[in-house]
Structures are given as C-alpha cells and as structure tokens.
Amino acid sequence: MKKKFAPFFEPDSVAIIGASATPGRPGHEAIRNILANDYAGKLYLVNPRGGEILGIPVLQSIAALPKGIDLAIIILPAKDTPQALRECADRGIRHAVLSAGGFAEVDDYGANIQQETIEIIREKNMRVLGPNTSGHTSTPHNFTSTFFPLGKIRRGRVSYIAQTGNFATHTMKYILTGEHFGVSRVIGLGNKIDVDETEALEYLADDSETTAIIMYLESIKRPRKFLEVAREVTRVKPVIVLKSGSTDAGKYAAVAHTAAMAAEDRLIDALLRQAGVVRIWDYTHLILAGKALSMMPLPKGNRVSFLAPSGAMLVVLADLCIRLGLEVPDVQPETVRRLEEISPPFIRMRNPVDIWASASVHGVEFGYGQGMEAVMKDPNIDAVVPIMMLTKDTGIPPYDFIVELAKKYPAKPLFVTFSADKKYMDECKDFVEPRGVPTFPEIEQPFEVLSILYRCTRAMNRSR
C-alpha cells in the first residue's frame, strides 16, 4: 500500500497540466504552493502558451514531457480533463490528481465526463484522486497538490481524509493562521471515482508519519471493505470520523454538494461502531481533536482532574464531565494533603480543585503549578485540565511552568483553557502551543475533546 501510493505522497517528479501565469488562478496557485513548501523533486509545467512561470519553463504539450513522471496534477476544465488524462497515460504517468469540478456533482453533462474518465482510468490502469478535489498534502515530503493559496503548510503527525474541498482550503487556512499544530498527510477525496476513503485509510494505517487519522465523510463507498480495513487500523491508531448527512436536512444539503447521496445514516453509525471508529458531530471538533492528537497522548482512562478559579465552573464542568462519559474521581489522600499544603490554612481541598485561594494568596504560578503537579502525579487521574486564571491584577505568570509540567508527565494529557483577560489567553496560547500543550478557547472544549480521545482509547483496547 505504502509503495503503491508513493507517487502521490512521495513523488520524485510532478507535472502541472494547466499551469497558469495568472496569480489567483488555480493553475498558478498550485505552483506557488509547491514552491512555498520547498518541494525537492522535479516540477514540470504544461500550458499551450509556453513561456515561463515563476522562473520555471513551460512545456507546450503533455507530449513534450519526459517519460515516467510520478504524478500529474490536472487543473483543466472538466471537459478537457479526460483527454489530458489520456495523454498523461501515454507519457507513462500512472498517478493523477484531477482538480476540476464540473463532473457528476453538477449535472448530467458532467456525469458523462466523469464516466468517460472512469473508463480511461480502467483502460490505462491509472490511480486517480478526485475529480472535484482541492488536492492533497504530504508535509513529510514537502509536497502539496492544493491549488488554494496556503503557503508553507506546517508539518505534524495527524493525517486527514476529507470528502470535501473545504478541508484542504479554508479549514487548512484557519489551522495555519489560527492554530499552531501541523498535519502529516491531507487527502481530499473529491468525487472519489478511484481512490476512496478505504484505500486512503489503508495507506495511512501503514504510514509511519501518521499517528492518528481524522476523516470527514458524506458517504462510504465500499462499506464492507471499509469495515474490514478500519477494524484493524483502529487497534493501532485512533480513527475519528465526522460523518455528515445524518438528518434529512443534512442529506438534502448533501445532494447538491457531492455526487454521492448520503448513505443511510443508521447503518453507517453501526458500521463505524463495529469498526472501532470514533464518530464526532461537530465540524469544530475536526480541528480541536486534531490539535489534541498532535500534541498529547491518548488518556489511559476517563478519570479527569481539573483546576478552576471558580466554584461555579467546577460545578458546571463536573456536570459536563458526567454527560460526556468522563469521571471526576477522588484523588489520593496524599494528593489532598498536597493540595491543602499549598492552600491557605483551613481550606479543604479535593478533586475537582478550587485553586482560587491558593493562586490568589501564593500567586498563579505557584497555585496552578503545584496544584497541577499534585494531580498529574496522582495514579487515580488520567488527564488534567487547568482553567487558567489570567488577569493582570492577580499577576500573569511566566507560562513555561505549564510546558515543563507537560514534559515531566508525558503520559497524561494536559489540556489548557482560560478564564478572564482575553489578551493573556491569546498570549498563553501562543506560548504553550508551539511547545506542545494544546489550549482551548471555551472551557467546555477540553472536556469534549478528552471524551473523544477516551473513546479512541477504548476502541484501541477493545477485545477481538
């Protein structure tokens, strides 16, 4: 599998068919993305006009390409795509990304072109991503076929499979501008006339650059095979899926979006469960779970400790934990002793931890730092969430103690969230995230994500 897909993810040579000299055009931005990512292989450009684009000479026909290029990125209108694909095959190219839309997702005319394309793939024995895909990305190989202007894509260890062009475009832009984590492989499936979610999953299962897999799906093309593959992968890597189109309104919206009508949702749900896949429901969790898995290990169990500067938050969040299937257990007597030691006299402490008094009297760094360490050490606790109290008047701590604690206890997820001054929330995020500690803007989110990760743990540990 790994070898089979190497031309997609580790191409030594790439041709862009439909290269454009005009900034903003997909055929131009694809080149800029490849250059911005420091792709080390050979890059060929094809456009009948010839000339030069961004310093690279342009060939006037596919026929002018050298033989045996690994991968073609075809950025041409739908109607011109089959012919280009055929010509690529004739130059010995066996792998292609078909970027254009205008196929079966649009109308009957497009459906005909799509059918023609399928026949070429079969006849020429090719492997194709798309059509109607915004491309794919392989940061370990410094490569992307994405035509949406992204610039340098941050490298990470989580991979995404997305049956939507949005992920590799707007969502990736958000991740690059609003977050600090990166990705390993991103696979935009498009209309998946050839490579589908099952094959993509199979590839990522074997991929040493991928430690967790997150998918957005609207349908599953080969459910039986998917189940077979997913059942194995989920024992070694977390697999999280947002499968949409679960309601009638969702399905209705899906028809217009991709050519595939959303499959019957209840069957899919049962299948995902059986496969050990963790299903999620919010688009935002695609991002937040990716962040968590990029920085932290899975929790060994569901026993959470959290520290808040407010009794109200303790109560609301304890309620939330229960709703999410997380436990908020008692900590060990030794931990209680330590928590009381760091608090003003006569304050009784337990889990969840009201850290207000300690942080107010002894400072935020001492109160949170010592309190977090006490619960991170505790064998009754699988994950720790501090709701950091950040306001200038109680003193903004140097944030390194958070990073140090995460390093000292690498087996336990540490998820940070905030209360009070937005300026320092942003500052803390920008400090700790590049150093490996994920933060979450809303206080409910770390618990939502922990619950997702705990379901991954259970899936990985399930009996055969």
Give the N- to C-terminal CA distance of the chain in Å, as an integer: 24
C-beta of 117 vs 305, nearer to a copy of itself:
305
Q: Are the C-beta atoms of 388 and 355 separated by less than 8 Å?
A: no
C-beta of 226 vs 424, nearer to a copy of itself:
424
Token output for 148: 């949406």
In angstroms, give the least distance from the CB of 310 to a copy of itself: 3
In angstroms, give the least distance from the CB of 258 to a copy of itself: 7
Residues in Cβ contact with 293 at an 8 Å cutoff, skipping those fewer than 6 apart = 157, 158, 211, 212, 214, 238, 453
In angstroms, give the least distance from the CB of 275 to a copy of itself: 21
C-beta of 94 vs 152, nearer to a copy of itself:
152
C-beta of 58 vs 313, nearer to a copy of itself:
313
114/358 Cα distance (integer angstroms): 65
96/62 Cα distance (integer angstroms): 13
In angstroms, give the least distance from the CB of 50 to a copy of itself: 26
In angstroms, give the least distance from the CB of 303 to a copy of itself: 12
C-beta of 179 vs 207, nearer to a copy of itself:
179
C-beta of 163 vs 294, nearer to a copy of itself:
163
Q: Which CA distances in Å does 307 have to 20, 168, 254, 364, 383?
A: 55, 36, 42, 12, 12
Q: Which of 297, 329, 315 is nearest to 387 (CA)?
A: 315
C-beta of 209 vs 421, nearer to a copy of itself:
421
Residues in Cβ contact with 141 at an 8 Å cutoff, skipping those fewer than 6 apart = 9, 10, 11, 39
| Cα dihedral value 191, 194, 200, 202, nearest 10 | 150
In angstroms, give the least distance from the CB of 444 to a copy of itself: 5
In angstroms, give the least distance from the CB of 2 to a copy of itself: 28
